[in-house]
Structure 1
Amino acid sequence: MESGHEEHPQASSGLPRRAVLGAAAGVAVAATGAAAGCSLFRSTPPRDDVDRLFGELDDKIEKEMQAHAIPGAAVGVWYKGREHVRGFGVTNVDNPEPVDGDTLFRIASTTKPFTGTAVMRLVDAGKLDLDATVRTYLPDFAVADPTVSAGVTLRELLNHASGWLGDYFQDFGRGEDALTRFVAGMARLPQLSSRGGLFAYNNSAIDVAGRVLEKVTGSTYEQAIENLLLDPLELHRTRFFTDELVGYRFAAPHKMVNGQAAFDPSMWYLPRSGDPDGGLISSARDQLTFARFHLGDGSAPNGTRILSPGMLREMRVVSGPGGTLAVELNGMGVTWALRPTDQRVPVVQHGGDVPGQHSGFFVVPDRDVAFTVLTNSESGTRLTSALCVDDWVLKRFAGISNLPATPRTLSASQLAPYEGRYVAQVIEGDGTLRDFHTRLTADKGRLRYRVLSPQDQPIDPGPGDTDALAFYRDDYVLTLDVDGTPRGSRADFIRGSTGQVVWFRLGGRLNRKLIA
């Protein structure tokens, strides 16, 4: 059955869905939420230092937008009892309208914490058990490995530890059965690592959790999220379908052409089957409201209890393995990436990337700080990285910083174990399994990073692309631009039982080492 929902008026369908990735993800969590037991939906009188910091942030955003040709962005900050929500630039270079705090963007993978929070509402109500198997709720669930199919738990879906291929983007249309058909199609997904053994970013696992929500609530996933979260939290500008947002202003997606942003309507389309992992449309203001809910005691803005404080805290407890996802991770909670800092103050983070729209999102419970930023171009990753992967915002608003990472120069013999060809797999929108190959070679004390073409030729990086990897501690690297400048992102290598390098984890994805 068709849903009856319309796509963005400037969108076109038929393109394969690309990876929805939390580019700003990863953060270590506290078991205590700031201001537990009281409402955070209030403000305090203005302070000069607060206004100064908000002004510095605005200047930073405008500078980065100009440097990287980002047409539009919106930001939301909660700091010292005050909200700062505003927009920058324009919605569309072809039909420019000003961006403000209520302009709508795709938030991509920041949808995942909404899915996780909705699951926790049902756990709180006794309708779901995080440690029950998926087959408790979906008896026919299967991936390629029969043992994993029978044993994987709801918690392992939500902390990215199921171990199967996660970038499965086959498009099953706009009907209400899209997610059902998608999950049935997962029987082909190969197991990359042992269940519970490694963190590997997994979109398809979150989609299974969305299907569990459908089964337990007896509604579509989208309606379940509306009923469980969006309406109770009064997030009226946060929805999955554009025909529910008529009359609001949208930020259009842009690609980069010769260093300039160009509107590309095809970038808007996403398959409905991916809604649980990355389908939400929202505004900076609504995102900040969601963030403040997670800083609070589980109450909605009107005081209604939505989730118990214990369930909020459980979402922020490390329950899955760590690694890297742009930043280092202590581990994963329930859809939250848990990021360590040098001061041992935990950060709870996510972010999202789809073609033409990139966002970042984090909260620091111990400091009562929240931050979100939304952008409308491929170059928006430079802004989200500067604000959510680098620690520029964390230092100023929370007084904390990233774990130290000083690039090292290694000898050829030290780099040799990491050299070779690596492969990652993606199932495209049309169902085709595609291999993506990269090659790492030693060069001047670092690893040269090259994506390989279908003709097995190295592709030179463009502006802002990764050119090289510099080690800063054993098995952990910083990504570098063509001029040698660190891009802010971190990645790591994973060794097997005999000590050999088996995987290169970049963007949370596992790239298997094939040959030296």
Structure 2
Amino acid sequence: MPGRRFVEWQQRLDEMVRRHGVPGASLAVLADGDVSTAASGILNAGTGVTVTPDSVFQIGSITKIFTTTLVMRLVDEHRLDLDQKVSELLPELRLADPDALGRITVRHLLTHTSGIPGDHFVDTGRGDDAVTKYVETCADLGLVHPVGALMSYCNTGFVLAGRIVERLTGQAWREALRTRMLHPAGLRETVALPEEALRFRVAYGHDVDGDQPPKLVARWQLPASTAPAGSTLCATARDVVGMARVHLDGGLGVDGREVLTDASVAAMRTRSVQLHRGANAAGWGLGWALYDWNGRRAFGHDGGTIGQSSFLRVVPDAGVAIALLTNGGRAEDLYQELFQGLLAEFCDLALPPLPTPPDVPVTVDLTAYAGTYATIGRRVELTVEDRGLVARVSVTDALAEVVDQPVEEYVLVPVEKDLFLTRAADARSWTPVAFSTSEDGSRYAHLGLRALPKVS
């Protein structure tokens, strides 16, 4: 990649970071076999330390691709079958519905279709037994939906997948990650412990309220007990695209060492789940979100922790991977604008237009959607008011302790029957909210990728 070509992107990143109120950002682009980087802003509003390409950010749920890769390596070694029952692999696991537990497979965990509540966050310490102890806390969990009936984003399922890795390898998840993936893939700037992160310049999350100066979030990290789902892993943007390179190169790491077989790489990018209308992806594979952009296929994943957001997109026919790591502000808007330009230049690819409300208002029976929809971690109360269908979204349970605004209010704009759009007051991007009815008549609200059953 010509140097001058990317210097221009450094300048554009600087301008976009300022305009979108993002304290700091790190960008890496893999193209033509080479990685180019750019960085902008600050890592910490309290210290003023600047972002460099060597800075590590929390990558959140992009971690799920690392955990899926570990699971698929066990499949390659014939030590695990994706359709194996989780109860056979983790006999100590208990759920409130034993019959449902007996039907949940490893594949359900990796495709977010198990029905287990997805945001069961509990702190069981930071020792090597943190994930083991987490499994013991699941005994009272019911199901959000019948096994395999829907996709509902599930952090809990990926913690269980991480525990399966521990059981079969005899290693703590983070040690299995280091020896079985990071080392053979040549990823030296990805760490799972705070004391390891201290070897680098480290990003801290921020709350940004309009034009006010960014404010440090109350705590830096989520509990280590949910590490396999994305609570602790830190990396440079360069290492994130380095992980994507393994998946572009047929599962090969440094010096041609095999991390995964080509068959497992392909299986991860094969659609397993069809998403609800309005979702920002075309489907879901094993770990990966799958995209169909004007007939061209791509895959990727996003991540979010306390005040930090991450984005990864991979276009296999162009051999391009792009990673953006941020620490607050309107990160989604930055991602949309930045990736539009990068994908156009390096892949000759135009992203589909963002959804927007129809020019002519759509009339639907709003009372059909009123009510309360809830699961562990989230509660949504929908009421019909003069301004339309209003959603009061509450973050509940353990998650409420780590967010700055546990209750937020949005107006839902109808697009068609069972599909609405909404956005925060200071955001440019609209977010879809869909509704569905299951075969047994149960109603669900789909916020992002989470399915919330109607409870009243």
TM-score with structure 1 setting the length: 0.79
After TM superposition, list the pairs within 5 Å mapping 1:288-437 onto structure 2: 288-323=241-276, 327-341=279-293, 343-387=294-338, 391-398=340-347, 399-402=349-352, 405-408=355-358, 409-412=360-363, 414-416=364-366, 418-426=368-376, 436-437=379-380
Between the aligned partners of 1:470 and 1:322, the Cα distance in structure 2 is 20
Between the aligned partners of 1:416 and 1:134, the Cα distance in structure 2 is 41
Between the aligned partners of 2:244 and 2:75, the Cα distance in structure 1 is 20
Q: CA deviation at 1:382?
A: 3.5
Q: CA deviation at 1:514?
A: 4.3
Q: Secondary structure at the match of 1:129?
A: coil
1:314 corresponds to which letter in structure 2?
A
Moved more, 486-495 or 266-275: 486-495
Q: CA deviation at 1:410?
A: 4.4
Contact 1:321/1:332 (<8 A) preserved: yes
2:352 corresponds to which letter in structure 1?
N
Between the aligned partners of 2:262 and 2:213, the Cα distance in structure 1 is 44
Q: Answer yes or no: is 1:509 the counterpart of 2:443.
A: no
Give the aligned CA root-mean-square deviation in angstroms: 2.8
Q: Answer yes or no: is 1:470 the counterpart of 2:413.
A: yes
Q: Secondary structure at the match of 1:299?
A: coil
Between the aligned partners of 2:395 and 2:128, the Cα distance in structure 1 is 37
Distance 1:364 1:447, change over 3 A: farther
Contact 1:293/1:300 (<8 A) preserved: yes
After TM superposition, list the pairs within 5 Å mapping 1:74-89 onto structure 2: 74-89=26-41
TM-score with structure 2 setting the length: 0.88
Contact 1:479/1:486 (<8 A) preserved: no
Q: CA deviation at 1:477?
A: 3.0
1:449 corresponds to which letter in structure 2?
A
Between the aligned partners of 2:331 and 2:443, the Cα distance in structure 1 is 32
Aligned to 1:16: none
Moved more, 273-282 or 472-481: 472-481
Q: CA deviation at 1:490?
A: 2.7
Distance 1:131 1:73, change over 3 A: same
Aligned to 1:449: 391
Between the aligned partners of 1:76 and 1:471, the Cα distance in structure 2 is 37
Between the aligned partners of 1:55 and 1:474, the Cα distance in structure 2 is 47
1:181 corresponds to which letter in structure 2?
K
Moved more, 232-241 or 396-405: 396-405
Between the aligned partners of 1:264 and 1:95, the Cα distance in structure 2 is 11
Contact 1:468/1:481 (<8 A) preserved: no
Between the aligned partners of 2:417 and 2:35, the Cα distance in structure 1 is 41
Between the aligned partners of 2:428 and 2:217, the Cα distance in structure 1 is 32
After TM superposition, list the pairs within 5 Å mapping 1:115-264 onto structure 2: 115-256=67-208, 259-264=211-216
Q: Deviations over 1:284-330 (max 9, x none)?
A: 11111111111112111322122111110100111134237x94333
Query: Unaligned regions of 5+ residues in structure 2, if any?
Result: 397-404
Q: CA deviation at 1:47?
A: 8.5
Q: Secondary structure at the match of 2:204?
A: coil
Aligned to 2:56: 104
Between the aligned partners of 1:117 and 1:198, the Cα distance in structure 2 is 23
Q: CA deviation at 1:162?
A: 0.2
Between the aligned partners of 1:64 and 1:379, the Cα distance in structure 2 is 10
Q: Deviations over 1:425-482 (max 9, x none)?
A: 335xxxxxxx6233243666x644333699xxxxxxx9xx773333445433332344
Contact 2:58/2:234 (<8 A) preserved: yes
Q: Secondary structure at the match of 1:187?
A: coil
Between the aligned partners of 2:189 and 2:259, the Cα distance in structure 1 is 19
1:402 corresponds to which letter in structure 2?
P
Between the aligned partners of 1:501 and 1:468, the Cα distance in structure 2 is 24
Q: Deviations over 1:214-254 (max 9, x none)?
A: 00000101101111111111211101102224431111222
Distance 1:139 1:87, change over 3 A: same
Aligned to 2:381: 438
Contact 1:468/1:482 (<8 A) preserved: no
Between the aligned partners of 1:94 and 1:216, the Cα distance in structure 2 is 43
Q: Answer yes or no: is 1:46 the counterpart of 2:9.
A: no
2:106 corresponds to which letter in structure 1?
L
Between the aligned partners of 1:423 and 1:386, the Cα distance in structure 2 is 33
Q: Percent same amino acid among aligned pairs?
A: 31
Q: CA deviation at 1:112?
A: 0.4
Between the aligned partners of 1:293 and 1:507, the Cα distance in structure 2 is 28
Match of 1:67 among 19, 24, 28: 19
Q: CA deviation at 1:358?
A: 0.8
Contact 1:252/1:263 (<8 A) preserved: no
Distance 1:83 1:466, change over 3 A: farther
Q: CA deviation at 1:387?
A: 4.3
